[in-house]
Amino acid sequence: MGQGQADVALATLRECSRNGDWLCLKNLHLVTAWLPLLEKELNVLQPKAGFRLWLTAEVHPRFPPILLQSSLKITYEAPPGLKKNLLRTYESWSPEQISKGGILARAQSLFCLAWFHAVCQERRNYIPQGWTKFYEFSLSDLRAGFEIIDRLFEGGKPFQWEFVHGLLENAIYGGRIDNLFDLRILRSYLEQFFSAHLFSSASAGQRRSRGGSHSFPAQISLPHSCSILDYRSVIESLPEEDRPSFFGLPANIERSSQRIISSQVISQLRILSRSVATGSKFDRELWSNGLTPVLNLWKKLNQGSTLIHQKVAPPSEGHGSPVLSFIVLEQFNAIRLVQAIHQSLAALSKVIRGTQLLTAEVQKLAAALLNQECPLTWQNKWEGPEEPMQYLRTVVTRALAIQSWVERAGRQALLSDTLELSDLFHPDTFLNALRQETARSMGCSMDSLIFMSSWQSPISEAKLQVKVGGLQLEGCSFDGSRLSENQHDSTSVSAVPPCYMAWVAQVCVLKKKKKKTYQCISIKFGG
């Protein structure tokens, strides 16, 4: 379906119904607007006893629910793995399609396309390290890539690799990608699997030191053949389980992937352990059993603290220092967040005790907490952990830590102490405030400043600088001068020595670069 076959399909449906034959209509998700006509036709049919109608479709939000309800439904999911993916591709291609014209480079290009398609799809198992999100790379992308390669080899013209790169990156596979870093990965794959060097190496029989053709795993080499059987035998030699090296990923990525999958399973089990109707209507006993742990935790977190009763005036513009202005604003927002959470939980507690009427806001709050989700009203004020209890612990911990920041800022000792950016709700804004204050003290524009860091000693060129502690790295270790990867454990977390950070004039950086070579790493704060 989807290629002007609607009238032919209806005529064939009537004929098969009269004769008692079987009929299969494929890809109905491409003709959702035509499906109401199919429903009407099915309602007036008087089929013979042996008649069967098979319908296939991918998931589609506009598929008519009535047609689904009147059908016996079977769903299937393709088995995972690079090997299975490649076998499915070569099962969909005929021997004539591979050997067409007897052009060796064409048959090898199709194998590279199948490998590229499989890598793009199976890399989705390593989100967010592989791709940042799930991209719907589908069979239609593979078909479009096949047609491009097929047309480029027609007429004996020189093969244009740039043409393949451009179409696959901008129109087909890359058209689904909306992240710059994912696009760089896709571009890298295209340059590896669709290049004249790859085919020249395979034709000359060249091998890497570990064996195999350039850009492929050690046990893979492009067959010097146009026979589909030779390519299938190469695929059969692959292991059943994928190796991270097939995707250009580090060996320890498996542990990280397994941890993410297990967290998702645990989250789903928590939701399944509760009744679906628990949050949809008020049941005092169910609400009390499910929400009392949250209420007790909040009460325990605030024992001995004045956060829920503290009164802080909205910050004014009278502070001369951008850093001090940021700290005051951060304290105000922290206290306001704590008190907003306290008010919502207090209202929920009163409803459970029967001293207050149920409102729509309390209903939404209870439904989210019972489903182990952080309420949207809290996340709108500060986007933190998704698990409610972890969110509450983090909010109170940071709100109390900010009080010490305000005290140190009041006695002009903030920038001289070792700071932990994880104490802040908005650590990136603090660094911007430091940038603004540095620009004011130096009498220059903010755009002319460059961010610098040093683990060995204070930054001599800096007018203002901060010493940041509590830094951590996951999957590797850093001793202040050398970064080393943990080969077998991507989940291990190691502490990083305190680091000096400052905004420095660009002229000073250029002068120092002539004397010294810099090596940079990226660290995320406030995790």
**CA-based angle 54:57:62, to the nearest 5?**
120
Between 210 and 457, name the one with better pLDDT.
457
CB of 226 within 8 A of CB of 96?
no
Q: How many CB atoms lie within 10 A of CB 195?
A: 17
**How far apart, in Å, are the Cα atoms of 428 and each of 85, 445, 470?**
43, 19, 16
| CATH among 1.10.10.10, 1.10.8.720, 3.90.1170.50, 3.40.30.10 for 82-249 | 1.10.8.720
Range with the lowest mean pLDDT among 23-32, 271-280, 391-400, 419-428? 271-280
Radius of gyration of the chain (CA): 31
pLDDT-based confidence at residue 215 (cuts at 50, 70, 90): low
DSSP string, 270-316: HHHTS-TTTTTS--HHHHHHHHHHHHHHHHHHTTT--TTT---PPP-
Which residues pair with residue 468 across a beta bridge? 419, 499
- Tokens describing residue 296: 């007790």
> What pLDDT is recorded for position 277?
46
Between 261 and 99, name the one with better pLDDT.
99
pLDDT-based confidence at residue 487 (cuts at 50, 70, 90): low
Evaluate if residue 367 carries a pLDDT over 60: yes
**Mean pLDDT across 119-147:** 90
Between 94 and 410, name the one with better pLDDT.
94
Range with the lowest mean pLDDT among 5-9, 239-243, 489-493? 489-493
Evaluate if residue 201 carries a pLDDT over 90: no
Between 65 and 490, name the one with better pLDDT.
65
pLDDT-based confidence at residue 212 (cuts at 50, 70, 90): very low
Q: What is the CATH number of domain 6-69?
A: 3.40.50.300
Q: How many CB atoms lie within 10 A of CB 158?
A: 7
> What pLDDT is recorded for position 337?
94
Average pLDDT over all residues of the chain: 84
- The rounded distance, in Å, linking the Cα atoms of 295 and 348 is 9
pLDDT-based confidence at residue 145 (cuts at 50, 70, 90): very high
**How far apart, in Å, are the Cα atoms of 474 and each of 166, 500, 522?**
36, 20, 12
**How far apart, in Å, are the Cα atoms of 320 and each of 314, 335, 428, 443, 513?**
16, 23, 20, 15, 34
Summarised one tens digit per residue, pLDDT across range 445-469 is: 888 899 888 888 888 888 889 999 9
> What pLDDT is recorded for position 199?
67
Q: What is the pTM of this model?
A: 0.57
Summarised one tens digit per residue, pLDDT across range 164-174 is: 899 999 989 99
Summarised one tens digit per residue, pLDDT across range 15-62 is: 999 999 999 998 888 888 899 999 999 989 988 989 999 999 887 888
- The rounded distance, in Å, linking the Cα atoms of 468 and 400 is 19
3-class DSSP assignment, residue 52: strand
> What pLDDT is recorded for position 208?
42
CB of 461 within 8 A of CB of 508?
yes
Evaluate if residue 517 carries a pLDDT over 50: no
**Mean pLDDT across 483-494:** 66
**How far apart, in Å, are the Cα atoms of 132 and each of 150, 247, 526?**
32, 15, 20
Summarised one tens digit per residue, pLDDT across range 227-251 is: 999 999 999 989 888 888 888 888 7
Do the first three CATH levels of 6-69 and 82-249 match, i.e. the same topology?
no
Evaluate if residue 479 carries a pLDDT over 50: yes
Range with the lowest mean pLDDT among 36-50, 75-89, 363-377, 489-503? 489-503
CB of 348 within 8 A of CB of 282?
no
Looking at residue 61, the DSSP 8-state letter turns out to be T
> What pLDDT is recorded for position 515?
47
Q: Domain limits of the chain?
A: 6-69, 82-249, 270-414, 426-527
Summarised one tens digit per residue, pLDDT across range 66-123 is: 888 888 888 877 778 899 999 999 998 999 999 988 888 889 999 999 999 999 999 9
The candidate with the shortest Cα–Cα distance to 109, out of 6, 199, 42, is: 199
Evaluate if residue 159 carries a pLDDT over 60: yes
Percent above pLDDT 90 for the chain:
35
> What pLDDT is recorded for position 213?
42
3-state percent breakdown (helix, strand, coil) of the chain, nearest 5 = 55, 10, 40
Summarised one tens digit per residue, pLDDT across range 271-326 is: 676 555 455 567 788 888 889 999 999 999 998 888 888 887 787 766 678 888 89
> What pLDDT is recorded for position 519?
40
Evaluate if residue 390 carries a pLDDT over 80: yes
Evaluate if residue 521 carries a pLDDT over 70: no
3-class DSSP assignment, residue 153: coil
